[in-house]
Every structure is written in C-alpha cells, then in structure tokens.
Amino acid sequence: MSEQVSHRQLSGRIVIATHNAGKLREMRELLQPFGIEAVSAGELSLPEPEETGDTFIANALIKARASAMAVNLPAFADDSGLCVDALGGYPGIYSARWAKDAGDFVKAMTNIERLMQAKGATEPAQRKAHFVSALALVWPDGHEETFEEKVFGTIEEPRGQSGFGYDPFFRPEGHERTFGEMDSQEKHGIPADGSQALSHRARAFQLLARACLRNDA
C-alpha cells in the first residue's frame, strides 16, 4: 500500500525567495488567482544565500529556508535551469552562475552555442535540451513541500524579447516559437481545463497548487 502524503495548505502572506525580477513577476502571476499576498526577498533586502546544493530541489530549499527563518513567514522559492544534452546536462544547476560569469544571459547563450558547435551539435536532433523548475515551500516551523517539473525542446538561435534568462534560446516541443517569442500567458498560463501548462515553472506550480493551494474565487 502506498503511503499517503499529507500536504499543508498555504494562505495569507508569503515571501518569494528571489532577487530576480523576471522570476518574481512570473511567480506573482501564478500566485495571484489564489489570493496570496507576496513580498520578495529582494524587496525585504534579505541577503542571497549561497546555493551549495547539488540538485535543483536542494537549492530551492536553501533559498526558501533562509527567507522563512529570516522573516518568520512561509517562503516560496524556485530553482531552475537549462540542461543541454550535447553538454552532458550543463549548465543545469549552474545556469544562473554561467550567466553571471559571462556578464549576462546573452553572452551565456553565445558561450553555450560555441560549446555546442565544438561538440558538432548543429542538427536539430543534436540540439535537444530541457528546462527544469524545482519549487520549495518552507514554513517557519520547518514544514517543507517540494515539487519539480520539466519541459523538453530544442536549442535555437535566440529569438524574442519576452520572458527572461535563456528563454530566447529555447523552443519547446510542438511549438514553432521560442519562449522568448511568447507572452507570459502563453508561456506559463495554466489552462482553465486543468490540462498541462507549457513552461517548466508553470508545470511545477500546477503540482504545488493542487497540493497546497485553494482557489475559492
């Protein structure tokens, strides 16, 4: 017999444990239908913890735990990244660090393309990749919930100005446009019929919402 998982319902005010403006905007949009009041770690001038985990979930928990303990409120954190098959899954959990080291995401995408070319990854079948999003909810009393999802696609020549990060570089399977060419509703809007969302973050959020949120609207 499988073990029943007991989830805790989230309500009221929370901290979104991020200093990334693009990520904050997406997470607020996802939370808005549930009446959750959210303030970010950046707005509270909380320091960014060192992400020493070796998985997306581990790093999401590090960020959520730090914010929950600092302000005595439930905290919501995302750790996400781009995993390129031709590069053995890199940059993966180091996606943000690769961009920081390069100077920005545009230069990071240029560097990744250079590495892929060096591997001979020029045909679409050789340019497969996926985005991962791990979400963590942490309460001040130590209760924790984690959720992880992926979206698969292909690395393309960067196109589009929407989204953030590596979005212009990634075309999801079954679509002709990159995430950078999609508006926020198309990229991470959750279908009203409950079918699967498109983006990795929205897919992970669907899991979280089903477990920990109620929409009483």
- Kindly list the structural domains of the chain, giving each domain's residue range(s) and its CATH number in brackets, ordered by start: 13-212 (3.90.950.10)
**CB 17, CB 199: distance < 8 Å:** no
Give the per-residue pLDDT at 46. 95
Question: Which of 79, 141, 193, 216 is labelled catalytic?
Answer: 79
Query: Which residue is associated with the tokens 């991962």?
Result: 132
Q: In whole angstroms, give the CA distance from residue 206 to residue 114.
A: 35
Token pair of 166 as six digits: 């590596």
Q: Is 85 a catalytic residue?
A: no
Give the per-residue pLDDT at 157. 95
- For residue 135, list its beta bridge partners: 78, 147
Give the per-residue pLDDT at 102. 95
Give the per-residue pLDDT at 67. 97
> 55-58 long-range contacts, Cβ below 8 Å, gap at least 24?
55/93, 55/134, 56/80, 56/81, 56/93, 56/132, 56/133, 56/134, 56/148, 57/134, 57/136, 57/146, 57/148
Per-residue pLDDT of the chain (217 residues; tens, 9 = 90+): 334 468 999 988 999 999 988 888 888 888 888 889 899 999 999 999 999 999 999 999 999 999 999 999 999 999 999 999 999 999 999 999 999 999 999 999 999 999 999 999 999 999 999 999 999 999 999 999 999 999 999 999 999 998 889 999 999 999 999 999 999 888 888 887 778 899 999 999 999 999 999 765 4
Query: Which residue is associated with the tokens 């545009």?
Result: 106
